[in-house]
Amino acid sequence: MTISLFYKKGLCPCIGLLCPIAIVAQQADSLLYRELPHVEVVEKARPSATREGAPLQLLDRNTIEGLGLHDLPEAVRRFSGVTLRDYGGIGGLKTVSIRSLGAQHTAVSYDGVTVADAQSGQVDIGRFTLDHVESIALSVGQSNDIFQTARMYASAGALHISTQTPHFDNTRPFRLQGQIKGGSFGMIAPSLRYERKLTSTFAASLHARYLSAQGEYPYTFTNGNRVSHEKRKNSDIKSLNTELNLFAALPRASSLRVKAYFFDSHRGLPGAVILYNDYHSERLGNRNAFVQAGYERRKERGFSFGAQGKFDYSWTHYRDYHSKYVDGQQTDVYTQREYYASAVGLYAVNGNLSFSVAQDLFFGALDATTPLCAFPRRLTSLTASAARFENSSFTATASLLGTCIAEEVQRGEAAADRKRLSPALSFSYRLLPTQNLRLRASFKDIFRVPTFNDLYYDRIGNKDLDSEKARQYNAGLTWSGAFGRLHYVSLTADAYYNKVKDKIVAMPTMFIWKMMNMGEVDIRGLDVNLSARLLLREAVHLQAEGSYTRQRAVDITKKGAKTYGHQLPYTPVHSGAVSVSLMHPAANVSWLLTMVGERYSLPQNTEANRMEGYAEHQLSIRRNFRLRQGTLGVQAEAINLGNVTYDVIRYYPMPGRSFRVTITYSY
């Protein structure tokens, strides 16, 4: 059916539609291969946040460990311009939105391949563990890296998660790491990572993690002048993550990576606490498995090639127990499948100029046990053409994305086919020859297709929805350097403007709510990021990170409306984060502060909808002990040190003060 849908809907012309357009060169790669006579050297490199034409924020493994970060949402909160929606508890849903564009505009890539959810368009980043993550990067708009899949061009911003690649010395052909985390509210999370060198060419790694938590944390609920102390119910979770990776360093600067991933969780949905009623009986089961493979051959000059493939299976089981149902319970099962293939070619004319073309095809399907399920199928073709020019003082990147989408349904009428071209530009210019002070600017025109829920959800869906259109403008200054004992300082400041049209919102009709294109949003903001490393004395240094966001994201749909000019829900005007880490041979001590200003829970910015701001402190201490046969690491953390009472989402109270202990043994 995939092939017939492809030809019947006329998507073939979209392949190869685009031609390379202007400007591009060698990119800052996560892995660079250099060929020398009789020797092949593999060298790691990290992209520079100050040289990028569009905003890029990065956390590497050393920073993650130095700050004592526990999970991915904790790490993402360190980035500026990010709105993290957290529905409370260890197992609560957590989604990320960049610059108030919505979670559906944010792509999440896992080792270079996008994580998809055609049903809701949102990815729960809480299911990813940090135990074996090498780096986390957040990019906004047009990335400097043009050797990437077409799907990575098709979003307003992207969260890139890269896991560790095995490295071995001459002492032993394997590495073993065991870890156990325990903490408040019955949380325990053992994990194991095993790496093995199979041959001179092949290596493998296995990672497994189990998480269990009761999640019954105390909270304070205020209703007028009445204050009560309650305990969160139905907030338990049990989950299992496993990954098996195969790595191959092939001749001629080629590499192959194959990943098999499995995630299984069963959790309670605690729901909203309203009028002291925190009883909820909803349960959610998630099961996700995928297999992906990626091949790359990169060259500094000449032709480079990359190919990827993936099969993704996702199963969601929702249950609600209540006397209002005929059999005392309601059960809904949703199944998603996706087949994905991508190829990208890059030609480097010389050390300054490069061109690339990427072609992606993916087919997604949704099945459900709900009575009116449309059983939609969607075939998407993405073609991206890009170019980049770079020298010591100037970098410029341009791209053009062609999107062709066709859909079929087994019940009802399918949405219309969609075709669109989306351009993007960025540049960075070094202002002073002796200083790394740069001016940068970027533009991106992008859109997001309505999800299956938007189009086909029982009675609420609307097949006539248009895509949301977003235009992103960014201008900023970046500087990095060193002086005195500050042997590294990085500062970036970006002003941005986003305009969203045809925003998809749920609107009440005569009898029921309906999805409609009724929204228009104006977003203006400022992001500032500072990073500094101070050498106190030999082997002792201080690492400081800071981020600040000022953002006005207002509804401009209709003048005179009650919400016109009002701030979007859950979008604070002011937010920021500060972290300070003392690195000492005896121990590492880190302090983290997260600050969120007041915001509103509904589109109308009234006093009744206002939510107070909050500041949350976290303190951690870590020490490593060298043993004869390995290394033992012990880390202790105190989260929400001030025991602050707050909600990220209204009526979903967050935990108060809690503690964690992590013990890691590496052999």
CA separation for the pair 38, 24 (Å, rounded): 31
Return the CA Rg of the chain.
25
CA separation for the pair 148, 360 (Å, rounded): 11
Q: Percentage of residues in the chain with pLDDT exceeding 90?
A: 59
CA separation for the pair 412, 423 (Å, rounded): 34
pLDDT in tens, 110-167: 999 999 888 888 888 888 888 899 999 999 988 889 999 999 999 999 999 999 999 8
How far is the CA of 67 from the CAs of 509, 591, 645, in angstroms?
49, 7, 23
Q: Considering its fold, how many domains does the chain have in total? A: 1
How far is the CA of 234 from the CAs of 218, 320, 622, in angstroms?
13, 12, 33
CA separation for the pair 58, 44 (Å, rounded): 15
Band of pLDDT at residue 276, cut at 50, 70 and 90:
low
Q: What is the pLDDT of residue 87?
A: 73
Q: Mean per-residue pLDDT for 468-481?
A: 94
The larger pLDDT score, comparing residue 195 to residue 62, is at 195
Q: What is the pLDDT of residue 509?
A: 58
pLDDT of residue 30 exceeding 50: no
Tell me the two tokens of residue 460.
């609420």
Biggest CA–CA distance in the chain, Å, is 78
Q: What is the pLDDT of residue 277?
A: 63
Q: What is the pLDDT of residue 279?
A: 66
Residue in the block written with tokens 């869906």: 461
Q: What is the pLDDT of residue 57?
A: 92
Q: Mean per-residue pLDDT for 332-357?
A: 94
Q: What is the number of other CB atoms lying within 10 angstroms of the CB of residue 41?
A: 10
Per the structure, the complete domain to which residue 415 belongs is given by 2-666
Q: What is the pLDDT of residue 472?
A: 96
pLDDT in tens, 415-443: 999 999 999 999 999 999 888 999 999 99
Q: Mean per-residue pLDDT for 397-412?
A: 95
Q: What is the pLDDT of residue 446?
A: 93
pLDDT of residue 7 exceeding 70: no
The larger pLDDT score, comparing residue 29 to residue 129, is at 129
Q: What is the pLDDT of residue 8?
A: 54
| DSSP structural state of residue 667 | -
CA separation for the pair 602, 13 (Å, rounded): 44
Q: What is the pLDDT of residue 38?
A: 39
Long-range contacts of 332-336 (CB under 8 A, 24+ apart): 332/368, 332/369, 332/370, 333/368, 333/369, 334/119, 334/366, 334/367, 334/368, 334/369, 335/366, 335/367, 335/368, 336/117, 336/118, 336/119, 336/312, 336/364, 336/365, 336/366, 336/367
Kindly report the three-state secondary structure assignment for every residue of 505-540: EEEECCCCEEEEEEEEEEEEEEEEEEEEEEEEECCE
Q: Mean per-residue pLDDT for 471-498?
A: 92
Q: What is the pLDDT of residue 37?
A: 42
Band of pLDDT at residue 649, cut at 50, 70 and 90:
confident
Q: What is the pLDDT of residue 52?
A: 86
Q: Percentage of residues in the chain with pLDDT exceeding 70?
A: 90
pLDDT of residue 662 exceeding 70: yes
Q: Mean per-residue pLDDT for 383-397?
A: 94
pLDDT of residue 91 exceeding 60: yes
Q: Mean per-residue pLDDT for 499-505?
A: 89
Q: Where residue 573 sits, what CATH number does that domain have?
A: 2.40.170.20
Q: What is the pLDDT of residue 10?
A: 54
Which of 196, 297, 310 lies closest to 249, judged by CA?
297
Opening angle at CA 161, ends 159 and 164, nearest 5: 165
How far is the CA of 271 from the CAs of 89, 141, 216, 279, 660, in angstroms?
11, 35, 13, 8, 25
Q: What is the pLDDT of residue 15?
A: 47
In terms of average pLDDT, the best of 28-32, 33-37, 355-359 is: 355-359
